[in-house]
A and B are shown apart, each in its own frame.
Chain A
Amino acid sequence: MVESLDQIFVDLKHLLVTLAPVEWQPFLSALISVVGIIVTFASLFALSTILERKGLGRIQNRFGPNRVGPWGLLQPLADGLKTLTKEDLVPRAADKVVHFIAPLVLVIPVFLALAVLPMGRNMVGVNLDAGVLFFFAVGAATELSVFMAGWSSRNKYSLLGAMRAIAQMISYEVPLILSAVTVIMMAGSLSTVTIVQAQAGYTGWVPHWYVLTPWGLAGFLLFMIGAAAESNRSPFDLPEGESEIIAGYYIEYSGFKFALFFLGEYVGMFAISGLAITLFLGGWQAPIPVLEWIPSYFWFFGKLLALIAVFIWVRGTLPRLRMDQLMNFAWKFMLPMALFNILVTGLWRFIPTGWERWFICTLLIVGAYVTLGRTLFQQKHWAKRSYRFAE
């Protein structure tokens, strides 16, 4: 019973596919997976927009949206109707073709990246041998769309936003991938399914997740910071910075194209959170052995919602960084820490199991963190700000 509930979607798909003639089966199988993924994540997008607005409201001691439907739960529907019926404006000076395809170029790779995420036992779009590599390769394509949007709008603000976005995304791509490298080193595979399987099993009540090791925790935190920057989430939302460049690269987008950008951004966040779950949080596996009877997809989406909650929490807490702070943080803190973390992971791999390796690795990481933090703070000279351009 438990087993069949866990595999219910897999069995259902199998049943549907076997109904079709043999030559259609591979195509139908892919189609069902694609439709399933798109429907699930689009509705998750709708859910998370309302949760985000509610959560931010509560963080600021407000109610949040509570007018449409019970407790405002139908708000996403109203938002969707609004964006669908809004006028679709294209600036006269814009490069119309590029302006049109930019949102598509964002949405397509973001959904493609979801294909390699295992969302439950035997539930993965495609089990690629180089799944993690595929994920990052496809994810990097979103930068192109951002620049297309910024450039084709022919607007100063959108160009500034796009340039900021490119600088930020390329800078944070480096620590993001380097922190993921540690997991690839330990699991010895680029396949997401193999990585999840490598984290199976428990020692007593404690699961063998990579986040529960010193290098894994450091890698997870670095990965999540990089993920926030990659998905342009606060406090790294400089590309859209409302207060200085209004809406950044999508200032000239309205109606459904804007909604597509919004969707792409959120699904990008889900995808990268899903990868963080796969790499560090044991994928679809239960946190303690007694809860293993709960279906695996429940655990994946539960962890995903938890990570989204953390993103919302961070957004409600931190103010936006300045551009130089953003760059300094990426190159002076994240990159050295990620590189050092790779070294520590190597040590962890070759020191035999026991408390010694825990001690050595924890000491090294905490030591590096404290030293780096101290050095960066010491370099700060508090002085009156001088403006070279506005004098």
Chain B
Amino acid sequence: MLGEGILKGMAETARNFVGSYISEDRLVTVQYPEERLPQKEAARNFPFLVYDGDDWQKGLRCVACQICEKECPPQCIFIVKDTAKKPDYIGKLQFQPKVFDIDISVCMSCQICVEVCPFDAIKMDVEYELSTQDRFGQLLLHKDDLVRPNQYYRQIHPTEAAEIDGRLAAEKAKADAKAKADAETKAKAQATLVAKPAAAPPAKPSAETAPAPVVAK
């Protein structure tokens, strides 16, 4: 009959209205500043720079290769290379950024900088409460605002961080083993050169000498 559907709909909304006062479960609202939903692991917002160890100046992974700067679609990254070099996680000397700025009012959170970085130095942060009164000062993040320890990265994106840590540790182990082997062969050559008649010490196989995979700091 005409009007039947309207009455049914009215009954439904009345049930919702009364029900929302009776059972709290019906209310889907999360009252944000007081209540928060747990962060999703895949969440991302703006990029940050990862560093290993305690001192960010020493442990910064960025080598100022400027790939991210070139790839950034909205051009929000600005890098100036430093002339001084510093050793990276395997002890190789690398460049470092003198200036590394990201304008997060321009950044569109596309994650392309993360995808292109060969050094796993730039990653996406999950911080979202970034509102500020100072539009120009506070939204242009400098190097010291951007750095975060690797522990923080492990905390916000555990799966990715574990994978990267494993890879870096393996690389470091390989580099260490290679260095050790090189050193041994060198020493051996030296020894044979210096004391030819003496019996050569039994050379240990390099696999045994490799240190246990250290977690990159």
Contacts and interface: CB of A to CB of B under 8 A. Distances in A.
Q: Do A and B come from one complex?
A: yes
Contacts of A377: 2
A61 B13 contact: no
B27 A317 contact: no
B2 A59 contact: no
A379 B9 CA distance: 24
B31 interface: yes
B196 interface: no
A316 B29 contact: no
Interface stretch (A9-17, A102-110, A132-140, A368-376): A368-376
A313 interface: yes
A370 B3 CA distance: 10
Chain A at the B interface: mostly helix, strand, loop or mixed? helix
Nearest to B12: A317
B2 A62 contact: no
Interface stretch (B15-23, B107-115, B166-174): B15-23
Interface string B167-194: 0000000000000000000000000000
A313 B13 contact: yes
B2 A58 contact: no
A376 B13 CA distance: 27
Interface in A26-72: 55, 58-63, 66
A233 to B, nearest CB: 15
A336 to B, nearest CB: 13
B10 A370 contact: no
B28 A62 contact: yes
Contacts of A61: 16, 19-20, 26-28
Contact of A313 (B10, B20, B27, B28): B10
B1 A314 contact: no
A63 B31 contact: yes
A318 B2 CA distance: 15
A317 B17 contact: no
Contacts of A59: 13, 16-17
Contacts of B14: 313
A114 to B, nearest CB: 29
A317 B7 CA distance: 10
Contact size class for B? 10 to 19
Interface residues of A, number: 21
B13 A317 contact: yes
B27 A376 contact: no
Given A62-B29, A370-B1, A314 B17 contact: no
A55 B16 CA distance: 10
A62 B27 contact: yes
Given A59-B16, A61-B20, A62-B29, A317 B3 contact: no
Interface in A341-391: 369-370, 372-374, 376-377
A6 to B, nearest CB: 33
B42 interface: no
Nearest to B6: A318
Contacts of B17: 55, 58-59, 313, 316
Contacts of B21: 58
A333 B28 CA distance: 40
A224 to B, nearest CB: 12
Nearest to B1: A373
Interface in A306-322: 313-314, 316-318
Nearest to A310: B10
Contacts of A60: 16
A317 B3 CA distance: 13
A234 to B, nearest CB: 12
Interface in A297-337: 313-314, 316-318, 333
Given A62-B27, A62-B29, A369 B13 contact: no
17 contacts: A58-B16, A58-B21, A61-B19, A61-B26, A63-B27, A66-B31, A313-B14, A314-B10, A317-B6, A317-B9, A317-B10, A317-B12, A317-B13, A318-B6, A333-B2, A376-B2, A377-B2
Interface of B: 1-3, 6, 9-10, 12-14, 16-17, 19-21, 26-29, 31
Instruction: Give the top 10 A-B pairs by smallest Cβ distance, nearest first.
Output: A373-B2, A317-B13, A317-B9, A58-B20, A59-B13, A61-B26, A58-B17, A59-B17, A61-B20, A316-B13
Given A63-B29, A317-B12, A333-B2, 9 more contacts: A58-B17, A61-B19, A66-B31, A313-B10, A313-B14, A317-B9, A317-B13, A318-B6, A373-B1
